[in-house]
Amino acid sequence: MTGPRDPRRHSVTVHRPADFDEFWAATLERLKAVPLRPSFEYSESRSTAEVAVFDVRYDSFDGLRIAGWYAVPRPEYVPPPYPALMLLPGYMSEPVIPKAWARRGYAAFAVAPRGKLRSNERFNPGYPGLLVHNIVDPNTYSYRGFYVDAVRAVETVLTRPEVDPDRVGVHGSSQGGALTVTTAALLGDVVACGAAGAPYLCGFMDAARLTHSYPYEEINEYLRVHPDHERAVTESVGYFDGINFAPKIRVPMMVYLGMEDDVCPPETGFAVYDALDCPKELHTYDRCGHDAGIFWEIEKVESFLAGHLKPAVPTPSGDTTAVTSGVTAGVTSGTALSVAADQASTPEVTDGEFEAYWARVDAELAASKARPVIDLVPSRSTDDFTGYEIRISSLGDYRLFGYLSVPKGEGPFPGILATPNHGSVNNPPHYEDRLRYVMLTIMHRGQRLADSPFAASYPGLLTEGIESEQTYVYRGIVADCLRGAEFLAGQPSVDPARLAVVGDDLAVLTAARRPVFSAVEVGGALLYQAAARESDPGYPLEELNDHLRARPDTADALARTLAFFDAGRHAAAVRADVRVSVPPEEPTAQSGRLARLAADLGSGTTRYVLTHEGQTDADAADRWLAERLGVPASSKFDRQRA
């Protein structure tokens, strides 16, 4: 079947085990035998004049030690007691320190359930991997402990004397949306409200049939290898399906969906909303994908949570006022510790120093042979393409990991290098891209699957070794991307005249140092003009401010190091066609970082103004690349499985 679909008309079928309630009652009863043992360690460098930040640890199901970040207003900024807001993580992402929510008057707790980086000492199934870990046995399935870790996070935050136990909210999107549903269901007498975006883990089996996107593609891959396990999988996931939890919720809930979500199909979102038997509201956004319309939705989420949790926030005069809607009103940051980059003198890096630095990187990389090992992965291979996992050496003989996929048929084919995102996990290439391109996604040093002997921290990676350009971790990370470019360009299945690189400013640096690409697609900027960041830009750039709070004497060194990695400094060396996605809030090169980067890359750069409709923007990016690489465009949402 091909063509558009109407998610409202699809019927989702979910197996509900007869002993569903008994299973979870027994799980929570077993949890009671595990002492909580909470600890809150104050983090001075990550705290500000307005917000105190704590590194949190507690014990959960089967005695696993779980981590989180707790951010709370200082009492002179907003007096206690505070409503608690539990921020629940997505599948791939690590929890961000929730200082922004604390400034809105919440005692905000971002939890890292088992398997996340700071909670994976005893349980580390990987990504991909978590979704199908022990999936045929509900007693040992990964999400049994994972769901309970979120429940126990609520218990942990309620040990704080400044928290009002009658005002506890839960919020998250994707996997965080799923955990919002399950936590509200399992703690019905504790949680006061929940806001769930694009909820994952709802209608597992229908979702796996409706999409080829990860994480649900993990189920499809598992069943390619174990087709005889389908019935056992269906029965097992019934214990964990959000649609089965939803009827147990009695508190107000908000659900918001992107109508063209290719990751968590909206059909399953409608199903979980229909299953809710509580005060509820649903917001849908046409032409939005897994973003679920968050550009427009975030103010509604803030208002919904504030209406039920009633945080007090400071007025501009410094007085506090209970706010029931529009929680962003009245928050000021004038008392915040400023560590903006203008404290540094920004030492000049001459053209000679710049070129010599990168010439040394090239020479060291050339001296380190790639020594590739390529392994076939049957679960990621189909009649249309063959999937591989690769390991290659980079700067310092560091072994990298990559996902490689090659279309079947007569080549050579156009190739795409996906440079790593800032985060611990990068997904394998999307199914639709694997049909048309030789795809290579690299994990840089420190990311999962390339985390030996160095494992990256989030937050923390952005400042690793930053006090010298010679020791800065991004020296190796850029080299890792360059090695990926060399590997892809050398594959016999690749047409060397049709190569593209996609990503953030790492894609720009890669194209500048390896002129093998005919197209560069830039969707973000991390290190570009980072030395001129705002005093509170949010994470990950806030890591630079955290670093300077602890080491203010290193401001000049930090600025000098960043100058070597500024995409604007590399822009003149890029010879390929370039496309930069620019938010509509940045109409001119003076008004935003991505608009400025597009200007630096030259007048021939295609400047795409985002619509903030995720699928519209994804389709536009796909068309641009397809035109330059000579293949048909594809809509990941509209293409359906037979």
Active site residues: 174, 261, 290
Instruction: Give the β-pairing of 163-173 and 107-112.
Output: unpaired
Q: How far apart are CA 605 and CA 410, in angstroms?
A: 33
- Cα 429 versus chain centre, distance: 16
3-state secondary structure of 302: helix
DSSP strands (E only) in 227-330: 253-258, 280-285, 312-314, 320-322
Type of residue numbered 539: Y
The pair of three-digit structure tokens given for residue 54, joined into one six-digit string: 């704590």
Report the alpha-carbon distance of residue 305 to residue 68 in Å, rounded: 21
Asked whether the beta carbons of 99 and 69 are under 8 A apart, the reply is: no
Residue 181 to residue 167: CA distance in whole angstroms: 17
For residue 32, the tally of other CB atoms under 10 A from its CB is 8
From CA 244, how far away is CA 224, in angstroms rounded? 27
Crossing angle of helices 473-489 and 505-513, rounded to 10°: 60
Provide the terminal-to-terminal Cα distance of the chain, rounded to the nearest Å. Answer: 5
Cis preceding linkage at 38, omega within 30: no
Q: CA neighbours within 13 Å on the CB side: how many for 599? A: 11
What one-character DSSP code corresponds to residue 167?
Answer: E
